[in-house]
Every structure is written in structure tokens, then in C-alpha cells.
Chains A and B, each alone.
Chain A
């Protein structure tokens, strides 16, 4: 017979505590699994989308979003080793009358056997030549369902300011679930969307026996500036890179929730071990070695972790499925906005999360197990043993060293553009704070007064005598509060910085945009003249938003052509003087980090198929794009590219003209066109901040989960402590203490524990927030923030947490408080 029954049996007999631990671990694991599952599915959908379009292409030539000259297709098609070249134009087509865009892919339907042609042939129409009609479009099943259209229906899209009615020629079945796209003939797409002679990518299938590497080099040599050639996988990697920092941040939050769960396991196990002191001492006396006891107690934790991990994976995937069904594949940051991927469970990552759950719970069980195995068994076996260890003075030095390490590590550079050391620093700071808690508890509780009332005297005496037990309960509170405080300070700093930034970048009264979202709408020169001539318009500035690819492996850089960037952008630094004859480019903060550009440096930017020399004239703050933006004079952009269209009009109204009146006049001026989006600056600011808040909404949920786990830890700790102290409560009831007095005593202890945890959490969180703002945020998203301390909300949160923790303590202890006082004092019952 195995010794297992002496250990695992307890998990069953104390099912409440075991279940609480299992749920805490499950919640941490579930958060991680859900975040990972949603992101993986959204990324997977993007990758499948890429493969749907690129088919079996070995290489893919891509250019900026504005596209490149289609003559390249002819050149590449005749290159030795190239089996087939498939030209494509991909557009985010603004849906007329809606605030959505649909991915529209123009393909060469004459390419028999090409992936695109085969795809078209599969369409419901059964005839790929149905696409020859310039207004014909084939919708994927997901797009057709989303738009409520079937074959024969009409799809209205926007091109420039014109509305285009397209006929749905068929519905394409068999694409991966969630793929919303429309196929058109490439020539029709170029024509209908004013992109004549423009492609956005060319898929290349190599002839058998051709080396991909050599072919890539040959193609690269022919490419104009600003184009890249790479296996199609590179595009998936680029998309993954776009959202990677955000995804990693969410995963780190989930890991902190898991850590809080581990602390809960530690609390419950430590107190369970304390309760089983005599039992463990007997096992020692019966011949079990300390090592065996540690192993079995740790195995109890592992069992909890395994159950919690498996449950967490199930809850996580169920939650992810529900989240995708309700909200789609975007977690708020907009990287996968509009996507509705099918959830794809991934066995290795699920196994990894179960392993994390097992690891966290095993660690939580190991610490008290080791202490129990090393304790004196002789004392524990003695009748009338008071069951308390001597009150040793805790050492602060190891924890201080850990905090110092955490601070030092924060200065390390990013790894693979991720703030790995920033996260390690936060972990060290959190562990250091947890390590300092015993020292803090010892000194704070030692300084407590004697207390006049019985419950005060007893509560303070309990805290003074057993700071370790209080510290256990406080550790969960510390971790959760530190997480919330750090995130709150970071988000408040971020929000305040964004608000200030918006005030700087939105100086005009009214903003007019032709295509939100999507890229097929624009303000042509006629529209620009119309806007400028509307009564009430004072000064008008037009801004063109485009994209440019600087490095093949990186996401596209946002290119902004506008008047007078030197005075219309929130500059952080500017060049003292610009050299004659070289135009300036003003780059966002991300550019120096990602591309190493410095003020005054001459750089080459590919525009209109050729590289052009610019000098970095300034660095500006841009919270809209974390992968870099470069602004240049509109005149320079127009001169180089010939593109005279505008994306946005910034309008300062003439004195006394109300914005609403101007908007009416503007709409009247555009009567008959597809409506432009007219927004007052206040509305744009409000919308931007709403998007900001939505981005962080998911993090609030994760913080709430961590706080809930921490409160559960307090309740569990006090429940276990109360059971441990049931004889004490029974005796106090004999001596004439009422249940209410015992309740107040527990509330006082709970409040003291909460105040300790919350206080330490506030300080730890504030320190962690500095690392979050200055290191993690800077290295993840490449933007600097001014620190803002949201004092009032933090104090309200601290107070609420302290009250809740006190309530949790009373709630946890209620079972033992209500226990029959008579039974409690009897040893031989």
C-alpha cells in the first residue's frame, strides 16, 4: 500500500480548500489559455488568409499599401527559374454606408491552374469567367454570411468618394472558417478602385529544381526600392510581429494571475501543513524521511496544479470560443479587428499551460512542505503542544538583494524587440516585495499597541505572535494589488499622455476623412477644392496617409505627407539646422529604436519605386502607430510620387462659424457622393480615447481576476487559520466572548493583514509601474509616457480591497467561529 492515501486523502477530506486552490490555478491558466487561444486563432486566420491568396507560391513580392508598378509582373514572369507569377491587388475596401471594410483581392482569372483561378472556379457560379464582368465579385462564405448577401446580390463599396455597386457572382465555399474576403478580376479591381497599372503583390511559383534562396536573390536584384521578396511566411511573421508585444503583455498579465493562484496554494498548503503538524510528526516518528514528506506534500500541490491546469485549459478554450463568438478575434488593440476566426486548440500550448499550473501549485506546496519537514517532530507529538514555532526575526537582506537585482535588470536592452528583462525585472521586484513582507509584517505588527478591548488585544497579539501566518495571507493581496496598481499607473500615465498628445495632434476644428476604415476612399483634388471652398472654412490643410516598406522583415512604416511637419507635430527633438537641398523627414519615437535613425542622419526612403534621400529633421511623439511613422512635407511627397490625393482634411473654421453649420454645408457640397466622415476635434478625441479604453478593457478583466484570487487567498487563509484556532475560539466563547466579538477580532486581523498587503502592494506596484512605463512600454511599443499617479482611484481601490479582505477574513473564519464551542475545546470528542 502506498503512502499516498495519507496525503491525497486530505485533498478529498478538505475538499473546500482543495477546490478553491484548483479554481485559483484554473483561473490563472484559463486566462493564459484564452489569451493565447484567441491570439493564436486570429494569427492562424491571418496566415490562412495569406495562404488562401498566395496558394502554393514559393516567394512573394510585396510593396507598400499604395502598391507598385505592374510592369514588374512582366519582368518577373520571364525570369529564369520562375514557373508562374501571379499578380494581385489587395485592398481594404470601404463598404458604402457602413463603418466596415472588406478585404478585396483582385486576381488574374486567366491563369489556369493558378491557386487564384482554381479558387474562382470553385465559386458558386461555377464559372470563373463570371468574374470577367468588371462589376462582378465572388464572396467567401464568411463574407457573404457577414454581409447577408447571396449570389445575385449587390455589394456597395466606396472608391474615392464614389459609390460602386458590385454584383455578387457567386459564393466561395471551402475557405477556412472566418475568412471574409471578396475576389475580383484584377483588371476590374484596378479600374474600379482607381489603381490602374498598380499591383500590391506578386506570388511566384518556382520551376521544379530551382533554389528558393537563389531565386529570391535574383528577384531582389530586379526589385525597385520599397519592395521586398520573401517566402509568404514572412507576411505572417510581420503580422505576428505587429501584435506580438501586445500579446506578450496580455500573457504576462495572465501569468501574474497564475502567480497569485500559486500564492493562494501556498497559503492554503502552509496552513494545512500547520494543521497537520501532529500528523506529519507522527509520520516522521513512524519512519518517513523529511525528503519523502516534502515529496508527498509537493505531490499534493502537483495534483492540485494538474486538476487546476486541466480545468483551466477547458475553461480557457471555452472562454476563448465564447469571446470569439461574441467579440471576434480582436482583444481590443485592433490588430485583428473584424476577424472572427475559428478557435483552434493547440495541444503543445495547452500542455505548456497545464505544466505552468502544475509548476505554480507544486511550488506553492513545496515551500511549506520543506518547512514542515524540517520542523521538530518531537514537539509536535507532545500533548498540549501549542503548535507555534518560535517567533524568529525575518531577514530582509535576500529580498533587498532581489529588489536591487530587479532594478538593475530593468536597464538591460530588449531581446528580440521584446522587453524580456523588463518582465524579469518586474518578477524580481514582485518576488523581492513578497520576500520583504515577513520582515515588514514582523516590524509593523511588533509596533502594534497592546490594545484595550479584548478583541483588539487578542487580534494584535495574534498578529505579533504569528506574523508569518498573516504574511501568508497578505502575500496574495500584495501580488494582486501590486499588479493592479502598476497597471493603473501605467494606464493612467498612458491615457493622460494620449490626451495631451491628442490635444497637440488635433489642433483643427473639423476633420474630414473619406475612408474610415479601409483604404479605397480618398479626397481627390476636386474634393479638396470643394472642401476649401465651402463657406465657413478658414484655413484647410490636407494630409496624405500612405505606407512605405523600409526593411523586408518589418511591418510597413506609416508615411504622412502634410504641410509644415516641423510645426504641426508634437516634436520631442528637432535638428538645429537642415542641410540645403535635402528634404527633411520627421520620424516617430519608434524609428530610432527600430531603424537606428538619429537626428541629422541622412536616410533613404523608397518612394515611387526609387530611393530618395532625406535627413531626419526631428523626432515626434506618436501614440497611434507603434511600428513607426515618418512625416514629410506634402509638397515633397507630391513631387516625388505624383500622388495628389489626400486622406484627411484638417479645417480651421472662420471665426463665428459653428461646426455643425459647416458640416451641413460640407455635406451639401458633397451631395451625390459617398458621404465623407466629418468629425469635430472633440469627437475625434473622444473616439480615440474610447478606442484606448477598449484596448485596455481586457486587462481590467485580468486584473479583476487577480484581485478575486487574492481575496479568495485571504478567505482561504483565514478559513484555515480559523480551523487551526477553533479551540481558541471555543475557549474564548467559554470565557464569555460573544461570536460578534470573535468576528470583530477576525475582522481586525483581516484588516491588518489587508492593510499590510495593500500598503506593500501600493509601494511595490508604484515601483513596478516605473518599469512598466519606462521599460516595458518603451521597449514594446516604442513610445515614452509621462508618469501620472491616479491617486484618488488608487486610494479608493486600496480602501475597498482592505475592506473586502477584512470581510473575506470574517467570511473565511465564520465557519470556525460558529463551530460548537463545546466540541472545540474537547480533545477526546
Chain B
């Protein structure tokens, strides 16, 4: 893993601040096109950059994440991830891209209740065809990283909300994805747990050299990002840099 991070730093030194997520002129409307959520929206994320997006409820923050993930189709504009134009891919290709390059953290954790904590973390690795031995090593590593070492065999029902979100973070990062998409990851947590989860998410994204796109209402969560943008009037605007 350290070798991977070093390689990325080396690449960054050769090509400083190379944007690897590029969104151009993105358009998206709902209510049969009568209500535009995005109109000519642009965004660039550099390798290893962690960006928070804020905005009022219903302005399309989560939709933006879904468009980036290829879960929804835009009505105009392009999204490129590492040079691959997501918007030009068919559903299967988008699914494969998501499987190989992205990690998700949800507000409601979405930890599978019928498999163990370890199996939950292993899921992206299994989907990507990792060997059993490699999976075991990586799962142990990730659980250790999120403070749940030794809980691989626990059932999700035995965990608290904060712990479940930590499992979700471990799952999102297990594959070392290039992009982590987090949608209100602290929405269901108390302030103390929320702070711990935010710190963990930031540190894990950073330590793995991934890009992060965080959608949140929480100023505390947004403060952990490199940049904070506000989605308003169908476009992204820069917010004051966090203290």
C-alpha cells in the first residue's frame, strides 16, 4: 500500500495537480425537465483531492454523486474519470467502472445484515475477483484501520450506528478505489460519533491517496475537506475555505 501511495506522489511530482475527475457543462433536470438541478455545472478534482459539497435539501447534491457514479444519466455535458468518459458508457461498462474504481459511503450505512462484518468489508474485493487469502489480509487491514480489529466475525446487529458506519468506510476503501463518494455519512450519527467518522473517512481517503467527494449538510464534516463547494442555482460555487 505504501508503495502505491509513493508511486502516486511520484506521479504527482511529474504532473502536478492533474485533474482526474472532470465534469463539464453537466445538465440534469427533474419533473419532466421543468426543474433544473444542474445547468452547465463544471467541477474538477485533482488526484488525491477531497472535496465537500454543501447546499440546501433538494438542490441535487446526492444526484451529482449518482451522476458521477454512473447510476443516473445526465441530460447533457460530460463526466470523465481518469480519462474515461463515464457519460458515454453503457450500463454494464458504468457498473464495471464503479466496481473497480469507486467506493461508496451512505447515510444509512447499508451494511448487509445477513453477513458478518468481515464479509461486508470483503464484498468489493469479492466482486473484483480477489483471492481468498488476499481478501482475508485486506479485510483485517481495513478493520484494523477503522478501529474494528478482531470484529470480522461479528454480526452487524451487534454493532452500534457509529461502528456500522466505520464498517461502511472500511468497505468503501477496501479496494483502494480512486474515488470515494460519501453521501451524508454522518446524518444518522450523534456529534461525537460523527466527528470520529469524519476524521476516519478523511484520514483513510488521504492515506490511500484517493479522491473524495463528500455531500453533507454538516459544516463540521465539510471542514474536513480540501475544498468546500456549494450547489446553488444549478451550479457549484466556492465557499469560504475552511479554517
The answer to whether A733 has its CB under 8 Å from any CB of chain B is yes
Interface residue ranges of A737-793 to B (CB < 8 Å) = 737-738
Rounded to whole Å, the gap between the CB of B96 and the closest CB of chain A is 7
Q: Contacting chain A: which of B21-29, B38-46, B121-129?
A: B121-129
Stretch at the interface among A104-112, A453-461, A675-683: A453-461
Whole-angstrom distance between the alpha carbons of A464 and B113 in the complex?
12
Within B186-234, the residues touching A (CB, 8 Å) are: 188
Q: How far is the CB of A760 from chain B (nearest CB, A)?
A: 22
Docked-complex contact A821 and B112, CB < 8 angstroms: no
Cross-interface CB contact of A465 among B91, B98, B109, B115, cutoff 8 Å = B115
Report chain B residues within 8 Å CB of A464: 114
Chain A residues contacting B104 (CB-CB under 8 Å) are 731, 734-735
Report the separation of the CA atoms of residues A730 and B106 in the bound assembly, to the nearest whole angstrom. 11
Q: Which of B67-91 contact A (CB under 8 A)?
A: 69, 71-72, 91
Determine if B114 and A462 form an interchain contact, defined as CB atoms under 8 angstroms apart: yes
Option from A387, A388, A454 in Cβ contact (under 8 Å) with B123 = A454
Question: A383 touching B71 by the CB < 8 A rule?
Answer: no
- The docked-state distance in angstroms from the alpha carbon of A466 to that of B161 is 22
The number of residues on chain B lying at the interface, defined by a beta carbon within 8 Å of a beta carbon of chain A, is 39
- A735 and B108 within 8 A (CB): no
A416 in contact (CB, < 8 A): no
Residues of B within 8 A of A737 (CB): 95, 99, 127
B159 → chain A, closest Cβ, in Å? 9
**Cβ-neighbour of B71 out of A388, A453, A821 (below 8 A):** A821
Question: Does A736 lie within 8 Å of B108, measured CB to CB?
Answer: no
Task: Tell me the minimal C-beta distance from A367 to chain B in angstroms.
Answer: 22
Partner of B108 from the list A457, A821, A822, A825 (CB cut-off 8 Å) is: A825
Question: Is A735 in contact with B66, judged by CB distance below 8 angstroms?
Answer: no
Taking the nearest CB of chain A, how far is it from the CB of B74, in angstroms?
13
Q: How far is the CB of A445 from chain B (nearest CB, A)?
A: 11
Report Cα–Cα, A356/B84, bound state, in Å.
63
Tally of A-B Cβ pairs under 8 angstroms: 94
Q: Tell me which of B69, B108, B124 has the highest count of chain A C-beta atoms within 10 A of its own C-beta.
A: B108
**B156 within 8 Å of A by Cβ?**
yes
Do B96 and A727 touch (CB < 8 A)? Answer: no
In the complex, whether A827 has a CB less than 8 A from a CB of chain B is yes
User: Is there a chain A Cβ closer than 8 Å to B20's Cβ?
Assistant: no
Q: Are A457 and B71 in contact (CB under 8 A)?
A: no
Q: A453 contacts which chain B residues (CB < 8 A)? A: 126
Interface SS majority for chain B: helix
What is the distance, in angstroms, from B222's C-beta to the closest C-beta of chain A?
19
With A384-B188, A735-B104 as contacts: A461 and B112 at CB distance below 8 Å = yes
Q: Is A415 an interface residue (CB 8 A)?
A: no
Is B102 in contact with chain A by the CB < 8 A criterion?
Answer: yes
Residues of B within 8 A of A100 (CB): none
Given that A454-B127, A822-B66 are known contacts, is A728 also in contact with B110, CB under 8 Å in the complex?
yes
B53 sits at the interface (CB 8 A): no
Would you call B119 an interface residue if the criterion is a C-beta within 8 Å of the partner chain's C-beta atoms? yes
Beta-carbon contact of B127 and A736 below 8 Å: yes
Q: How far is the CB of B128 from chain A (nearest CB, A)?
A: 8
Q: B183 contacts which chain A residues (CB < 8 A)?
A: 825
Q: B115 is contacted by which of A452, A461, A734, A826 (Cβ under 8 Å)?
A: A461
A254 CA to B159 CA, complexed, in Å: 49
A735 x B71 contact (CB < 8 A): no
Nearest Cβ in chain A — how far from B120, in angstroms?
10
Is the pair A384, B164 in contact by a Cβ cutoff of 8 Å? yes
In the complex, whether A447 has a CB less than 8 A from a CB of chain B is no
Asked if B11 is an interface residue, CB under 8 A from chain A, the answer is: no
**A461-B108 contact given A383-B161, A453-B126, CB 8 Å threshold:** no
**Chain A 427-464 interface 0/1 with B at a Cβ cutoff of 8 Å (1 = within):** 00000000000000000000000001110011001101
* Contact pattern, A 376-408, Cβ under 8 Å of B = 1, otherwise 0: 000000011011101000000000000000000
Within the complex, the shortest CB–CB distance from B25 to chain A, in Å, comes to 22
How many whole Å from A813's CB to the nearest CB in chain B?
A: 15
CA distance A821 to B115 in the complex (A): 20
Closest Cβ of chain B to A384, distance in Å, is 5
Contact between chains at A388 and B157 (CB < 8 Å): yes
A737 to B171, CA, bound (A): 14
The interface residues of chain A lying within 8 Å CB-to-CB of B113 are 386-388, 465
> In the complex the two chains form, is A386's CB within 8 Å of B123's CB?
no
Whether the pair B72, A822 counts as a contact (CB closer than 8 A) is yes
Q: Are B95 and A736 in contact (CB under 8 A)?
A: yes
Once the chains bind, are B119 and A461 in contact (CB under 8 Å)?
yes
Task: Kindly state whether residue B100 has any CB partner on chain A within 8 Å.
Answer: yes
A730: nearest chain-B partner, CB-CB: B110
Closest to A732 in B: B123
B126 partner, pick from A388, A454, A465, beta carbons under 8 A: A454
- Enumerate 9 A-B pairs (CB-CB under 8 Å) in ascending A order: A386-B157, A461-B112, A731-B110, A733-B95, A734-B71, A735-B127, A736-B98, A736-B100, A825-B110
Closest 4 CB pairs of A and B: A736-B99, A465-B114, A386-B113, A731-B110
Known contacts A738-B92, A825-B108; 9 further A-B pairs (Cβ under 8 A): A384-B108, A384-B161, A454-B126, A458-B112, A462-B114, A734-B71, A736-B124, A822-B71, A827-B107
